[in-house]
């Protein structure tokens, strides 16, 4: 690569880094005005454990979310959606209260959609979806959706 190409590529990355404060401010402002967030907050119950689930990079986001909640002294953990589907009794124990959050950027990840459906139907739990896409199967499968 030529030096000019490296500099040009570096400028894109640098521009992206410098745009983050504005992006975060915009996201936080939208979140503060979100009716969906207010609805999701209504699902929070003292003593309930937050279960964050997803697949691939969405699972990594679930891990970060669970860690953040634990930092705030809220009981939370991340579980891959496939484990939740295949071994629900190992993830959720009788007599415990759970607040499931299902994450899928596309809103179409089959394991995430099936996990949401299972939690809603078989476990009678209201689920929260976090997705980047409107009108996808995950949104229809969950009680509350945050975009």
Q: Is 85 helix (H, G, I), strand (E, B) or coil?
A: helix
Residue 4 pLDDT > 60, yes or no? no
Q: Is 141 helix (H, G, I), strand (E, B) or coil?
A: helix
pTM summary value: 0.80
pLDDT tens by residue, 75-97: 999 999 999 999 999 999 989 99
pLDDT tens by residue, 110-126: 999 999 999 999 999 99
For the chain, the domains span 1-33, 35-146
pLDDT tens by residue, 23-59: 889 888 887 887 877 877 787 888 999 999 999 999 9
In sequence order, what are the beta bridge partners of 98?
49
CA gap 145, 131 in Å, rounded = 7
Residue 136 pLDDT > 90, yes or no? yes
The topology (CATH level 3) of 35-146 is Rossmann fold (3.40.50)
Residue 60 pLDDT > 90, yes or no? yes
Percent helix, strand, coil in the chain (nearest 5)? 55, 15, 30
Is residue 78 a contact partner of residue 57, using CB atoms and an 8 Å limit?
no
Q: For residue 39, what pLDDT is reported?
A: 78
Q: Is the dihedral angle over the CA atoms 90, 91, 95, 96 positive or is it negative?
A: positive
């Amino acid at each position: 690569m030529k030096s000019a190409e490296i500099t040009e590529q570096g400028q894109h990355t640098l521009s992206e880094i410098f745009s983050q404060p504005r992006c975060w401010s915009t996201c936080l402002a939208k979140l503060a005005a979100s009716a969906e967030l207010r609805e999701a907050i209504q699902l929070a119950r003292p003593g309930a454990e937050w279960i964050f689930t997803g697949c691939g990079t969405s699972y990594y986001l679930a891990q970060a979310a669970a860690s953040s909640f634990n930092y705030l002294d809220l009981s939370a953990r991340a579980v891959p959606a496939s484990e939740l589907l295949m071994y629900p009794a190992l993830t959720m124990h009788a007599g415990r209260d759970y607040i499931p959050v299902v994450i899928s950027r596309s809103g179409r990840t089959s394991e995430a959609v099936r996990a949401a459906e299972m939690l809603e139907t078989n476990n009678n739990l209201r689920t929260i979806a976090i997705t980047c896409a409107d009108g996808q199967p995950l949104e229809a499968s969950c009680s509350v959706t945050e975009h």
